[in-house]
Amino acid sequence: MLNTSGTTISPLSVPQRLLLGPGPSNSHPLVLEALSNQPVGHLDPFYIELMAEVQGLLREVWQTSNRLTLPMSGTGSAAMEATLANVVEPGETVLVAVKGYFGNRLVDMASRYRANVRTINKSWGEVFSLEEIEESLIKFRPSVLALVHAETSTGVCQPMIGIGDLCRKYNCLLILDTVTSLGSVPLFLDEWKVDLAYSCSQKGLSCPPGLGPFTMNDRAEEKLSKRIGSVPNWYLDVSLLNKYWGSDRVYHHTAPVNMNFGIREALRLIVEEGLENTWNRHKVNAEQLWKGLESLGLSLHVEKDIRLATLTTVKIPEGIDGKKFALHLLNNHGVEIGGGLGDLAGKVWRIGLMGFNSKKENVDKVLNLFDSELSKFKS
Ligand SMILES: Cc1ncc(COP(=O)(O)O)c(C=O)c1O
């Protein structure tokens, strides 16, 4: 085939990579099989049934009974934006607890919805205490508190016990980012009294990027129903989307049906393995990785009790060019690991063990590579 400049474009050939970075992670082979089916119509009775299955499975992995639970068409950022777009009105105070890169994204988005954005900050690698959260709720009296459960930029997991109770006490909604925890790290949305949450398809769910699971409870629905102005984002307006995902099944946009085949299979696989088993597999493999890295003389950036099983930040030793090493692993060994973001740029590598990729052979592989290759990069 000739393109306009007269050169030949060969058929697509994608290199095989083992994705052990911050995401995307490799997809499960059965998910890839599901994706490769011919599409069906987005109002086909088969598809309507599949939509309900996806909603039910999402409720299960999130441990919620929220009626309004659905995969947004778009990546995690679309679902993140949907939470703010639906419950924030201009001028309302939104408090964001920032402890990394994705907290800052919440700040940016909330500002674009013209919220009065307030922040509390922690250095990158730490988490908030309940006292700090309570003090800030008293000080700012926000109508929404937004925070990240699993901060992919730093590798911390925010302890959640008690935060939802504080939000109820001070009458504000709680938005939780579960992009790097859904399907891999214990999550109990209802028990934790989380009002809105979002995630992605490409990490713990072992699906390609393209869907952003979203959920909101009755408190959030009530806030949405009492809005003065309409939701300032047509595509992400849950009251419109609900007409398609709810019982009416009215066309909103052409659903990415194959992505929903994929996520249905991905979620089914998690439920088949058992949620607790899945969480435990991630924990065991992460602990093996931590032990192995430390026995190679490397230091981890985050204290053990708040470390995230899906994402480990490893300090780049003095004298080593972290970028060069990561590029070497990719180009010569087909293994992707991530570099640091924001405050941690150039300081850490980020190693992900997410979903299908959280397995012993991958832990061994990455440890062997660090063992055999890193010394070649010492100056
Ligand atoms: C914690 C967190 N929140 C939000 C996002 C944004 O998701 P996406 O890149 O799928 O839009 C990411 C992406 O890695 C993330 O790690």
The pLDDT tens digits of the residues spanning 39-92 come to: 999 999 999 999 999 999 999 999 999 999 999 999 999 999 999 999 999 999
Q: What's the domain count of the chain?
A: 2
CA of 376 to the centre of ligand 1 (A): 33
Ligand 1 pocket test, candidate residues 73, 127, 148, 152, most atoms within 8 A of CB: 152
C-alpha of residue 77 to centroid of ligand 1, in Å: 6
Cα 330 to ligand 1 centroid, rounded to whole Å:
22
| pTM reported for the whole predicted model | 0.97
Q: Which CATH number fits the domain that encloses residue 179? A: 3.40.640.10
> Is position 183 within any domain?
yes
Q: Is the pLDDT of residue 1 over 60?
A: no
Mean pLDDT of 82-107: 98
Phi then psi dihedrals of residue 14, to 5 deg: -95, 130
Question: Cα of 76 to ligand 1 centre, how many Å?
Answer: 5
Average pLDDT, integer, range 19-43? 97
Same-domain status, 87 and 67: yes
Place of tokens 């082979």: 29
Query: Would you say residue 1 lies in a domain?
Result: no
Asked if 265 and 282 sit in the same domain, the reply is no
Q: What is the mean pLDDT of residues 323-328?
A: 97
pLDDT score of 236: 98
Residue-range definition of the domain harbouring residue 153? 29-271
- Kindly tell me if the per-residue pLDDT of 254 is higher than 90: yes
pLDDT above 70 (res 2): no
Confidence of residue 3 (pLDDT cuts 50, 70, 90): low
Protein residue closest via CA to atom 8 of ligand 1: 76
Asked if residue 4 is part of any domain, the answer here is: no
Ligand 1 binding site (Cβ under 6 Å of any ligand atom)? 22-23, 75-77, 80, 102, 148, 152, 177, 179-180, 200, 209
- Which residue, judged by its Cα, is nearest atom 16 of ligand 1? 152
Predicted local distance difference test score (pLDDT) of residue 247:
83
In this prediction, what percent of the chain has a pLDDT beyond 70?
99
Tokens of 263: 């996520």
| The pLDDT value given to residue 64 | 98
The residue-averaged pLDDT of 196-210 equals 98
- C-alpha 212 to ligand 1 mean position (Å): 9
